[in-house]
């Protein structure tokens, strides 16, 4: 049995998928491309800390945490954009990152905003 869809204009995290459909839901309306963009630079302290971590090797936790925070912010902006269009889901979600200049990176979360309803039995 299909679960209830979030109301129009509210996109729950579990209603975002890299697939082009959501199990148990029918796409009623395609609302277009949505995106969340964050441009982030490393602080001088973060750069020094990351440089020190590279000496030891392994996971550079300072940069891992920065990347994770940036991706989360881009994701949240994307679902806010979708909600503003009246969507309750996002399909085909993807991330992209581009180095704009030395130490400055753009992270883009994008997908297709849709309005879905539970499939009729």
Give kind and range of the element (H or E) at residue 56: helix 44-56
How many separate domains does the chain show? 1
Query: Residues 57-61: what's their mean pLDDT?
Result: 63
In a domain, 8, yes or no: no
Phi, psi of 117 (to 5 degrees): -135, 150
In a domain, 1, yes or no: no
Flag whether pLDDT at 3 surpasses 90.
no
**SS3 at position 68:** helix
Query: Residues 48-74: what's their mean pLDDT?
Result: 72
The confidence score (pLDDT) of residue 43 equals 55
Question: Which residue range forms the structural domain that includes residue 78?
Answer: 13-118
pTM for this entry? 0.82
CA distance between the termini of the chain: 8
**Can you tell me the distance from the alpha carbon of 1 to that of 4, in angstroms, rounded to the nearest whole number?**
10
In a domain, 3, yes or no: no
The confidence score (pLDDT) of residue 120 equals 86
pLDDT band at 85, cuts 50/70/90? very high
Partners of 37 in the β-ladder:
108
Structure tokens at 89: 């889901």
Give kind and range of the element (H or E) at residue 107: strand 104-118
- CATH number of 104's domain: 3.30.110.70
């Amino acid at each position: 049995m299909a679960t209830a869809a979030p109301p129009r204009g509210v996109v729950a995290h579990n209603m975002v998928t890299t697939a082009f459909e959501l199990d148990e839901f029918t796409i009623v309306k395609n609302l277009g491309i949505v995106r969340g963009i964050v441009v982030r630079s490393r602080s001088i302290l973060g750069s020094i800390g990351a440089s020190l971590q590279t000496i030891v090797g392994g996971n550079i936790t300072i940069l891992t945490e920065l990347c994770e925070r940036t991706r989360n912010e881009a994701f949240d902006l994307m679902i806010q954009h979708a909600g503003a269009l009246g969507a309750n889901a996002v399909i085909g979600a993807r991330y992209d990152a581009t180095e704009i200049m030395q130490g400055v990176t753009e992270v883009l979360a994008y997908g297709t905003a849709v309005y879905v309803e539970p499939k009729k039995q």
